[in-house]
C-alpha cells in the first residue's frame, strides 16, 4: 500500500546533506553518508508515494521549495516553528517573506506553526511571558496568511500541561476560517483538547514514529479516539529526522522508516492504510 509522508524534513540536517548538525551521532554513521536524494529514493523503495517537506524556518522553507521543485511527488509547506519566535526580529516582515514563498505552486500548506512552551523554563522569569506573546503573534500571522492564501495549516503544539494546547484552540477559534484542512501534526495533548479538536471542521491528526514507543499509551489512546470519531481524519508522518519508530528509537529517523510505523499501525491498531492514503490526498488537495 502506498504511503504519503505528510510531514518530513528532507530540508533539515542530517537528511539534507549528511551534516550531523545538532545530533549526537558518530562521524562514521551510515546515515551521514547520505543526502536528501538518497533518503527520498529509499523512502520510495519502501512504499512512500508522496511527501510533504515542512519548513520550520525561513531558510528551511526555501530549501523545502527547492527540493519539491525536483520531483512531482514532493511538495512543500512554508512556516516558522514556534520555538523560533525569539529569533525572528521582525515578525511582520517574516510573514511577508513566507507569503512571497507561498506563491510557489509546490507550496501546499502553511506551517509548521503553533505554540510550544515545552522548553520554556521557570528560570527564564519575565522572559517567558515575552516569548509566549511572540509565539502567539507569529502563530496568528501564519493563521491569517493561510486564510488569505486559501491553504491548509500545519500545527505544532507542545506543553507539559494544558497551557499551549488550550491557547492554541482559542487562537484557532478566533482567527482561523475553517475553509481548509487544519492539521494537528504529531498530535499530543489532554483528552479534552483532542475532543474539541476532533469536533473542528476539516481537522486532521498526524501520527508519527513515537506512537510505537512502549510508553506512548497516551498517543495510542488519541489514535483510538480519532479512529472511533472519524478515521478520515488520520494522517501518517515521520517528522524525520526526529522520532524514529521502534526499534530505531533514539537514532536518526530516516524517511523510509515510515513503512515500519505504517505496519505497526495496521497490525496493532487496525489502521486502514488505504483510507489514510486518501485522507492525505484530501487534506492537502494533492
Residues in contact with Zn ion by CB under 5 A are 239
Nearer to Zn ion, 229 or 242 (CB): 242
Residues 223 and 212: beta-carbon distance below 8 Å: no
Task: Report in angstroms how near the CB of residue 240 gets to Zn ion at its nearest.
Answer: 9
Total count of residues recorded for the chain: 286
Query: How many angstroms separate the Cα of 33 from the Cα of each of 18, 37, 53?
Result: 6, 11, 21
Residue nearest to Zn ion (CB): 239
Sheet strands side by side (includes 182-184): 3-8, 48-54, 74-78, 107-116, 153-158, 182-184, 203-207, 234-236
Task: Report in angstroms how near the CB of residue 31 gets to Zn ion at its nearest.
Answer: 18
Task: Report in angstroms how near the CB of residue 81 gets to Zn ion at its nearest.
Answer: 7
Nearer to Zn ion, 116 or 260 (CB): 116
C-alpha angle with apex 56: 32 to 222, nearest 5 degrees? 95
Give CA–CA dist 272/20, Å, rounded.
36
Nearer to Zn ion, 208 or 260 (CB): 208
Residues contacting 257, CB < 8 A, separation 6+: 209, 238, 240, 244, 245, 248
Nearer to Zn ion, 6 or 212 (CB): 6
Residues 166 and 136: beta-carbon distance below 8 Å: no
Nearer to Zn ion, 64 or 120 (CB): 64
Task: Report in angstroms how near the CB of residue 54 gets to Zn ion at its nearest.
Answer: 5
Task: Report in angstroms how near the CB of residue 164 gets to Zn ion at its nearest.
Answer: 16
Amino acid at each position: 500500500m502506498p504511503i504519503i509522508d505528510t510531514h518530513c524534513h528532507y530540508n533539515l540536517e542530517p537528511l539534507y546533506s549528511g551534516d550531523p548538525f545538532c545530533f549526537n551521532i558518530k562521524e562514521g554513521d551510515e546515515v551521514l553518508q547520505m543526502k536528501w536524494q538518497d533518503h527520498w529514493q529509499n523512502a520510495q523503495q519502501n512504499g512512500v508515494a508522496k511527501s510533504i517537506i515542512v519548513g520550520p524556518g525561513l531558510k528551511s522553507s526555501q530549501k523545502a521549495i527547492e527540493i519539491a521543485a525536483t520531483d512531482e511527488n514532493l511538495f512543500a509547506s512554508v512556516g516558522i516553528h514556534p520555538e523560533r519566535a525569539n529569533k525572528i526580529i521582525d515578525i511582520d516582515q517574516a510573514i511577508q517573506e513566507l507569503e512571497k514563498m507561498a506563491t510557489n505552486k509546490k507550496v501546499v500548506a502553511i506551517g509548521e506553526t503553533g505554540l510550544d512552551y515545552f522548553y520554556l523554563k521557570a528560570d527564564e522569569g519575565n522572559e517567558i511571558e515575552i516569548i509566549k506573546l511572540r509565539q502567539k503573534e507569529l502563530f496568528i500571522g501564519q493563521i491569517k496568511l493561510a486564510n488569505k492564501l486559501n491553504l491548509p495549516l500545519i500545527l505544532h503544539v507542545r506543553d507539559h500541561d494544558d497551557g499551549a494546547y488550550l491557547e492554541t484552540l482559542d487562537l484557532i477559534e478566533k482567527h482561523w476560517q475553517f475553509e481548509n484542512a487544519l492539521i494537528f501534526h504529531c498530535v499530543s495533548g489532554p483528552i479534552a483538547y483532542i475532543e474539541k479538536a476532533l469536533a473542528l471542521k476539516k481537522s486532521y491528526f498526524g501520527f508519527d514514529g513515537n506512537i510505537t514507543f512502549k510508553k506512548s499509551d497516551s498517543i495510542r489512546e488519541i489514535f483510538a479516539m480519532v479512529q472511533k470519531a472519524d478515521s478520515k481524519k488520520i494522517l501518517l508522518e515521520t517528522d524525520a529526522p526526529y522520532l524514529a519508530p521502534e526499534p530505531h528509537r533514539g537514532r536518526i529517523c530516516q524517511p523510509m522508516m515510515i513503512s515500519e510505523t505504517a505496519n505497526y499501525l495496521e497490525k496493532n491498531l487496525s489502521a486502514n492504510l488505504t483510507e489514510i492514503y486518501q485522507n492525505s490526498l484530501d487534506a492537502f488537495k494533492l
